[in-house]
Every structure is written in C-alpha cells, then in structure tokens.
Structure 1
Amino acid sequence: MKKLTQVKLIISLFFLSTSFNVANANMIENPLQLSTESSLTRAFNAKIEDFWKENASSHYFLGSDNKNIHTISIVTGNTKAIVISQGRNESVLKYKEVAYDLNKQGYDIFLIDHRGQGFSERFGGDSHRGHVSLFQDYVDDLNQYVLSLELAQKYSQRYLLSHSMGGAISSLYLQQYQHPFQASVFFSPMLSINMGVLPNFLAKIITYTSSEVCSWFTNTACYVPGGGGYKEKSFTDNVLTHSEKRFYSSQFNFQQYPSTQLGEPTMRWLATSLSAMEQAVEHAHKINIPILLFQSGADKVVTSTGQNAFYKNVTYCKYNKFVVIDDAKHEILIEADEYRLPALNQTLQFFTQIEQGKLTCIK
C-alpha cells in the first residue's frame, strides 16, 4: 500500500507540473492575437503560406554598380507602412510569419534581399560566398529602394524595422540620408561581432590584409577561416532560436528555393563590416528619429558592446527605448513565443505611441 501511495503521488506531481507548464505557456500575453508556435508547422502554416502567395509581389531594381536587388511588396490598402532590412544569410522568405503578423495589424510591408543573398545578385566567385566589396553598397541600395517606394506620398505612418546585419545597414542609412521614417526598431543589431578574444583593431588588420593577399592569387573571394559553402543546419545546439518549429521553417525555405542558399562570409565581407559597425556606433548621434533597440540576452552571434555604445550615442531624440530580452538567442523574430511575443507587442505599442504623438523627437 505504501508503494502504491508513492506511485500515485509521483503521478499526481507529474500531472501538476505538466498543467503548470501548459498554464505558463497560455499565460504569455498575446492581446493582438499574433501568430504562435502552436499554430505552426515546419513550413509555417497554410494561412501564412496562402497570405504570402496572395499578397507578396516580387520586384527587382538596379542597385549600386547596376547589381540586381530583389524586393517584396505586400500592399493591402493600409495607411501605414513598414520597411524591413534583413540580417546576413537571410531571404525575404524567412519573414513570412513576421509580414503576416504585421500586415494583420494594419501595415503594408516592404522587404529587401540585400545584395549577395536571398534572390539578389551574388558576388565573390560563386553563389555561396557571403561577399560584398563595400558595406556602403548595402546602405546605398537601401536608400535607392526606399526612394522608389515614395512612402511619404502614400502613407501617413512609416517605420523602419531591422535585424542583425540589417541593423548596421539601417543605422548608417538613417545617419547618411534624408528619409521618410518616423521611428526605427532594431532587433539584435550587428554593431559588434563576437570575435572571441580577438580585439577589433587586430581583427580589422588581419581581415583586410588577408583579403588583399587573397586577391593577388585568385579572383574568387576567400572565406573566413573554416568557412565554406551552404550546409544544412540542425536545431541541436543552434545559436539562433529556442523555437524548433521556427528554426525548421527558415531552413525549409532554403530547401524549397536552393537559389537562396548561402554559405559563410568572406574575409572582405568581415573586414568591411567591422569598419561599418564602428562607423555606425560613432555617428549614432545623427539619427533624428526615436528608436527602439532589442538586445538578446543570450546572443552568441553579436555582442552587447556595440549595441550599448550605439544606444548611448543616440542622443538626438529624447524618447528612445532599450529593451533586453533575457535568455533570448540572436534571432528574436523567429524565437520561441515567450521571447518573440513580448518583443513584437512592444514594437507595435511603440509604433502606436509614435502615431499618437507621445514620443516626439526632442533632444
């Protein structure tokens, strides 16, 4: 009888624990009814796929040096617009769920495949090398794209949203060009890369020198040490997200559209990116609109050093916000619900406050 009682107690505790975990999951605030993991498959889901097929319009334009740059427009008759600047080794396809969520909240969405990735033109000797000659080309492409959209003439509210490398691009764009945006949101912006113990100044010397020496012997850009072409990744021990469903949804895109596959970056990409990040941090005071910056608490791809310095230097506007998402990995926008939902909710609240005139840009 005593053993039977112990067994019953263990079973009861198990079900209590399970119920508590389910309750915790259901307690994640989702007032806007954004997409959740429970509704997803390993290829997003039928609703999101149908939304993309019905509304995503593909276009190309000639960027710097007349290179073909691919974009997506999702125009459904809204008066508000969001332009999304993606991270390295991403394509517009990765943002299907994000575009779905934001569009349902009343925004037309515009996405750009930065040069050298996604469906845009590739460089460096073959399609798998993550290469760019000058980081500034990304910035100039973005400016040309935004100009072509004529946002100020078509929309009453206009926002710039970016992730990782796209954050460095967006910050330089906002510093250098007149723009139509009223606010900008940065998710895990690439403002300092995790280089281990290697100091930034030494990393710049090594990467620039290596890139130059490489060019003496071949017209093909050299990968970073240990780098190579595209390899299918496993969820186990990944540094991007806690969400298995969202991880495999992003990987599914690469399988479905092999032309979007990309390998590791080249030495030239790393060299010019290191300089660009320093510039973005140094001139952050030139950004003349309110910003919201999300820092991933468990980020192993980029470091907090550049983000902290950048935010400290964004002094033009009084109403900026800095939010740390504890324990989140690098890719907040494809993270588990407990990290992704609070970030998106705060983003949309931020936009609402801008629209209501509560976050005016005052020094």
Structure 2
Amino acid sequence: MIFSPCLPESNQAREQQLTAFCQLHERCYVMTGVAGRRIHYVEYEQPGRPLLIISPGRLEAAFKHREQAMDFWHQGYHVVAIDHRGQGLSQRFFDHPQLGHMDDFDNAAIDLLTLTKRCNPTGLPVFVLAHSMGASIVLRALQIQPDCFAAAAMTAPMLSLNLPLPSSILKFWLGWKSWRDLSQWRQHKRTPRYATTSRQHYVASPFIDNPLTHSQLRYQWFRELYERQHNLQLGGPTHGWIEQAIVMMQRIQENSDRIETPLLIATAGNDTVVTHSGTERLRRTLSERGMAVNWYQSTFSKHEMLQENDDIRTPLIAAILEHFSRYSDR
C-alpha cells in the first residue's frame, strides 16, 4: 500500500498544519477506569468510520501521538488515544506526580477495553495501534477479551527488559519492596521512592545519543511539548512498576494461546530500550501454534519506530495500513 505522510520532515509548515488539525478535530474527555481511577483520552472523531485506538508506551502522553492521529485520520479512521493510568493527563498514583507507578497492568488492559466499548457504540470494526508498554497492555487485552479488535499492530513491544538478575528472582524482591512502599504510603502518606538512582525526575535529554529516534525534528517536537505542558512529564519507575511489568510479561507468555487477533509486530533493530528475547519467545510460541503473524523488522530503527525519520516511519505505516485493510470487514 502506498502511504504519504501528512507531515513529512521536509514540510516547513509542519507545526502550523498539526496545530490547525488539532484545533479542528482534537477533543479531550475523561472516563472512570478500574477502581474509580480517572482516565483521560483524546478523540479525533470521524463518524461512521472504523475506530483506531492508540495505546502509548511508558512516559508517552496521548498528545505525543498527534502526528500518528493526523495520518490515520486522513486514511479514514476515527482515532482515539488513551493516557494509561498513572501517566499523561490520567490520574497519577501519588502526590509526587512524576513517579512512574502501576497498580496492575491488567487494570490498564481493562481500561483500554472499556474505552473501546465507550467509543464504538455502533459496532464498526475496531483496530489498535500500540507501542512498547502499550503493546504489552494490548496483548493482555487480547487475552482477556479475544474478540475485542479486528486486528492489532504494535511496535517494539515490551516483552522483556534489560534487568540485572533473572526476572523470576527479581520479582520476589521487588514485590517485597513494593509492598513496603505501599504500606508506608497508606499508613503515613510517605511517597514511594524511585527504583533506581539513575532514573528519577523527568529530564529532557539532548538529542545526541538518545535511544529513541534518529529524527531530530520529531524528537525536539516531543521534548518541547513536554516543556510546554509540565503535567505530561513522568520520571523513572517505582519498584512496583517494575514488579508489575514482570508479572504482565509473564502473563502474556503463559496465556499466548488465548491470542486470536491478527497481529502485525514490528521490531527495531537498533532498540536498546527493550530486549528482543521476550519477542522471540512469543514468536516461537505463536509459530508452534500455527498462528500467522505479520512480523516486520526495521533494521536501523531505534525504539520509537513511529517517531522515526521518514525513511523508517513511512514504510512502517504503509505496512500497518495494509495489515488493517485485510480485516476491515470484521
């Protein structure tokens, strides 16, 4: 499928055109998620068209995916992007809003399913585009409710992390640390600590040697967005976030036989944020089941494949659109 981006890097009026699109089509809403948590989402409405849900990664606010929303809106999709619980403009877990925490990733998956049902009352085909942590949340949603999406596409899924010890060992230590932190919060309102000293408050790291993208233009736009809206910023993870991430990744592998939705899984050859071992394990398991998965590899891409330069990003979106088109009658 031929795809031309709405805002190629050579477009000198990118900022103005994106602002104009958002002023016309972007609407913000709030819903109640699991356990009464306030969940923020952004909608780019196009009545009567298939629904596309965008599930961002860790640190990512829905607003960061405005360019993707614009591209898919112009391809005929009604687009909705969620702020996962604990990040973006959704309700944070503690008084210190930059702490990256998660109570249970299954709650985030159920939030996503609730949003999908809320935004699709007419029963049109629903597709989902997910990145990194958001891809793992989608995989759990596909296991909890296998018929929720007609097709799913995900980039650089978070299925394994670069951890200092085996996850089976770390999970117990992190579980104890998380339990202690939460007990201190409930009893004394003592805010949990960051899990590491190297990743704490949000820092707008320079473009040089960044692990996310080769596109300086898209990288600077994202950093400037977060500088303008400080309430989008998120710092490093808590012990509880890492523990729950390990639990989620194990659940995905252990319940892979429940995945029935047609998948496109894109991996980045230059990825240093997530490791490939979990993705390879899932690939083997799904292959043994005989499930046909569209595996897409971009050899030179860094982690944020949808924020990459045009040479990497454009053919990836073309492949995603082609994947979705095969299941548009579902």
Is this a same-fold pair by TM over 0.5? yes
Matched, 1:291 2:259: no
Deviation of 1:58 (Å): 0.6
Aligned to 1:192: 160
Q: Secondary structure at the match of 1:276?
A: helix
Matched, 1:183 2:143: no
- Post-superposition Cα deviations, 1:77-130, rounded to whole Å, max 9, x if no partner, equal 352221111101111111011011111111110111001111110113311101
Is the contact made by 2:146 and 2:260 (CA closer than 8 Å) also made in structure 1? no
Aligned to 1:224: 195
Matched, 1:346 2:319: yes
Distance across 2 between alignment mates of 1:285 and 1:115: 27
Give the counterpart of 2:305 among 332, 335, 342: 332
Aligned to 1:10: none
Matched, 1:260 2:232: yes
Matched, 1:71 2:41: yes
TM-score when normalising by structure 2:
0.92
Distance across 1 between alignment mates of 2:148 and 2:29: 21
Aligned to 1:360: none
Is the contact made by 2:146 and 2:259 (CA closer than 8 Å) also made in structure 1? no
TM-score when normalising by structure 1:
0.84
Would the alpha carbon gap of residues 100 and 40 (structure 1) be closer, same or farther in structure 2, given more than 3 Å must change? Answer: farther
Is the contact made by 1:290 and 1:320 (CA closer than 8 Å) also made in structure 2? yes
Deviation of 1:268 (Å): 0.4
Deviation of 1:36 (Å): 1.7
Would the alpha carbon gap of residues 175 and 317 (structure 1) be closer, same or farther in structure 2, given more than 3 Å must change? Answer: farther
Is the contact made by 1:289 and 1:317 (CA closer than 8 Å) also made in structure 2? no
Quote the sequence identity (%): 28
- Post-superposition Cα deviations, 1:28-51, rounded to whole Å, max 9, x if no partner, equal xx932213211267xx52111111
Deviation of 1:283 (Å): 1.1
Counterpart AA for 2:169: L
Q: Secondary structure at the match of 2:277?
A: helix
Distance across 2 between alignment mates of 1:261 and 1:106: 31
RMSD: 1.9
Distance across 1 between alignment mates of 2:317 and 2:224: 23
- Post-superposition Cα deviations, 1:223-265, rounded to whole Å, max 9, x if no partner, equal 1111322222211111000110111111111111111111111
Distance across 1 between alignment mates of 2:155 and 2:243: 23
Matched, 1:213 2:180: yes
- Post-superposition Cα deviations, 1:199-239, rounded to whole Å, max 9, x if no partner, equal 22222233222223344555312211113222222111110
Aligned to 1:59: 29
Distance across 1 between alignment mates of 2:217 and 2:321: 24
Distance across 2 between alignment mates of 1:338 and 1:314: 30
Q: Secondary structure at the match of 1:355?
A: coil
Is the contact made by 1:39 and 1:45 (CA closer than 8 Å) also made in structure 2? no
Would the alpha carbon gap of residues 323 and 98 (structure 1) be closer, same or farther in structure 2, given more than 3 Å must change? Answer: same
Q: Secondary structure at the match of 1:224?
A: coil
When the two structures are aligned, how many residues end up with a matched partner?
A: 323
Residues 72-111 of structure 1 correspond to what in structure 2 (within 5 A)? 72-111=42-81
Aligned to 2:212: 240
Aligned to 1:115: 85
Is the contact made by 2:146 and 2:258 (CA closer than 8 Å) also made in structure 1? no
5+ residue gaps, structure 1, are 1-29, 358-363
Give 1 or 2 for the bigger CA radius of gyration.
Answer: 1
Distance across 2 between alignment mates of 1:122 and 1:238: 26
Aligned to 2:10: 38
Would the alpha carbon gap of residues 268 and 188 (structure 1) be closer, same or farther in structure 2, given more than 3 Å must change? Answer: same
5+ residue gaps, structure 2, are none
Q: Secondary structure at the match of 1:241?
A: coil
Counterpart AA for 2:314: L
Counterpart AA for 2:24: E
Is the contact made by 1:283 and 1:313 (CA closer than 8 Å) also made in structure 2? no
Q: Secondary structure at the match of 1:131?
A: coil
Is the contact made by 1:128 and 1:262 (CA closer than 8 Å) also made in structure 2? yes
Is the contact made by 1:86 and 1:162 (CA closer than 8 Å) also made in structure 2? yes
